[in-house]
Each structure stands twice: as structure tokens, then as C-alpha cells.
Amino acid sequence: MAASPACSMFPRWYCDEWTCEDGRYKNKAGINDDCLEVEYKDISCLDCVPAVCEIGSVYYADGTCGFAQNYDGSKIPVGIVFEADTEGNHGKIVNLNFLTLSDVDYSFNPLDPYGGNVTQMSWGLHGTDVINLTNYSTAELRNNGLKNRDEQLFNGNPNTALMAATKPTYSRCTDGTFAPGTQNYARYCYPTAALAALAFYPPGVAEGDPAVGAGNWYLPAHAELLSLRGYDFDTLTSKTDTRNAVNKALNILISKGVNASALTNSSLAGNWFYINSTEITSTNYISHDISGGYLIQYNKFGISYVRVVLRF
């Protein structure tokens, strides 16, 4: 069996397995490897199909997926798949790097989303209860919500929109003590993380791209960050298989010169707590340690890392 030049042009493609019914072949060296031209019962067959999107694969701006080791430099990578249906047609991706802020006015610049000097930001809206956002104030409420697949725990998209539309009610925000453009305003008054998520679009992508442009990305909800780590929602136990697959892909992309960062990046100081869009009270939200799996009730003005999510 000789490798097919035609398939080497499309490293995201693979060949299915030969069967008595359809006579197709899968490269036994590894799924989604280079296609092989196969001769079976005197019939020459090259049957290649697009690779499906699966956990740990690179998601490109054109809506295709491929393994990081077969990175296609002619395309724009925008995220890594961390959820996928069995057909690989739908799922969720996490973006490639941490969202950052300017150290001058603590604003987010969508033209350079990863280039700011401040690598952590706050939930914001301290002392402000977001209308129509459920307060999961106890572990029992959160666990019951996970078991019942509550929408607000499994879909951060509407949560992020609600946060972004909320005006602060905290007295120091309304009386002028904390002025716009200052660090205190960004941390206590402004829905900093939510607005950054909605304004984000990956480098190299048009802002108005209907699939991966601004407005398609959002802050993950509680269950989505658990899913990014590899949580088992049936047993309510934490795992790390998904996080490890995502980190492996991110590290490969980094080695190929892509502007990316692993979910736990030893070059950055501090803990590995991430912002999500699940509110606990008017002053707290749930923060996730993506490394150790810890969950804490964190002050809204406290700073954590931000990665954003997109559904495909």
C-alpha cells in the first residue's frame, strides 16, 4: 500500500475501514492519519472523507477540524474542541489564549486580544445582582442544577449577555468614587469579563465573521468549565482527560508558532482560577482552578484568567 499524493494535500482527511459491504479502509497506524490508497480484491479505492471534530482537535475559522500534529498553516486556527457530539458536527471550542487588558485604562482591545499587559481580569459588578441570572448560592443548588442540566449552568451565552447589559448599583460606582478608566472601576463596576468576551474575535478573523467573529464567543458557565477539565456529570466527579487533550493540542500549536497558551501556563504567575458566568450572590461568583479542580466562591472584584467559548 502506497501513500496517496492526493491525500497528503489534505492532512485533515482520513480513510475509513474496509468492510465487506462498502470496501473502505482505515489506516491502522492511527485514525485521521494520512490516507492510503488501497487495492482490495483487484479494486483500487481511495475513499477519503473530512475528519470530524473531536475533543482535542483544532478548530479552524472555516469550520473544519484537524489534529494539531497535522496543523494546516494555510488556515486560521481559532480554538480547540472540548465538547463534540458523536458525529463531530456540533460541539464547543475554547479560544487559544488568555484575554488581556491594557495596564493604562484596564480596557480590552479586540484588535489585540492577547497583547495586553494585564493577564487577569474581574467578573465586575460587585454588589450588583444581575437580573434574571440565577444565584447558585450553595453547593446543593449547584449539584442539583448539574444533575438536572440547568440551562444557566450549561450555557454561558445568555448569562454573558445578561452580565454585559447590567449597570452597577454599588454606591462607589454610582457616586463617582470609582471613575471609568480606572482599575477600581474595571474591577468593581464594569462587567469587564463579559464585555471582553462579547467583543472578542480571534486574530486574523474579521470582526463581523458570522461564525467566529465578535458576538459568537462568551464566558463559559459553571458546567462548561467543568466540562473543559473533563468532569463526569453523571457521577459528579472531576477528571482531567479533556483538559489534558486540550493542553496537548495547544502546546503543539505553540511549537508551530501559533499565538496560543496552554490552560495551565507555567510562564505566568499566580493561581489557575478561571472566570465563569455563574453567579452565587451579588458579591460572589464561582471560580474554577483548572489545574487542581478546586472551586471557590470568589469576590467579583477579584481577578482570574479568562478563556472564552464558542458553539459550532
Domain identity same for 142 and 224: yes
* 63 in any annotated domain: no
Domain identity same for 8 and 151: no
Q: Which pLDDT does position 28 carry in this prediction? A: 38
Task: Give every residue of the chain whose pLDDT is below 50, as ranges.
Answer: 1-50, 269
* 211 in any annotated domain: yes
Domain identity same for 152 and 44: no
Domain identity same for 10 and 158: no
* Count of structural domains within the chain: 2
* 233 in any annotated domain: yes
Phi and psi, residue 233, nearest 5°: -80, -15
Q: How far apart are CA 211 and CA 311, in angstroms?
A: 9
* 85 in any annotated domain: no
Which residues have C-beta within 8 Å of that of residue 4, sequence separation ≥ 6? Answer: 34, 35, 36, 37, 46
* 88 in any annotated domain: no
Q: Which pLDDT does position 240 carry in this prediction? A: 87
Give which of 113, 126, 157, 159 is closest to 261, Cα–Cα. Answer: 113
Alpha-carbon dihedral of residues 235, 238, 242, 246, nearest 10 degrees?
A: 160
Domain extent, residue 19, equals 2-50
Which residues have C-beta within 8 Å of that of residue 24, sequence separation ≥ 6? Answer: 15, 16, 17, 18, 45, 47
Domain identity same for 283 and 181: yes
Domain identity same for 7 and 143: no
Q: Are strands 284-289 and 121-122 parallel, antiparallel or unpaired?
A: unpaired
Domain identity same for 221 and 290: yes
CA 32 from centre of chain: 23
* 71 in any annotated domain: no
- Which of 33, 50, 67 terminates a domain? The answer is 50
* 73 in any annotated domain: no
Q: Which pLDDT does position 234 carry in this prediction? A: 87
- The amino acid sitting at 267 is S
Domain identity same for 254 and 175: yes
Domain identity same for 145 and 32: no
Domain identity same for 137 and 204: yes
CA 171 from centre of chain: 34
* 66 in any annotated domain: no
Q: Which pLDDT does position 266 carry in this prediction? A: 54
Give the three-state DSSP class for 277.
strand
Domain identity same for 44 and 106: no
Domain identity same for 34 and 107: no
Q: How far apart are CA 294 and CA 259, in angstroms?
A: 28
Q: Which pLDDT does position 8 carry in this prediction? A: 38
119: cell is: 493577564
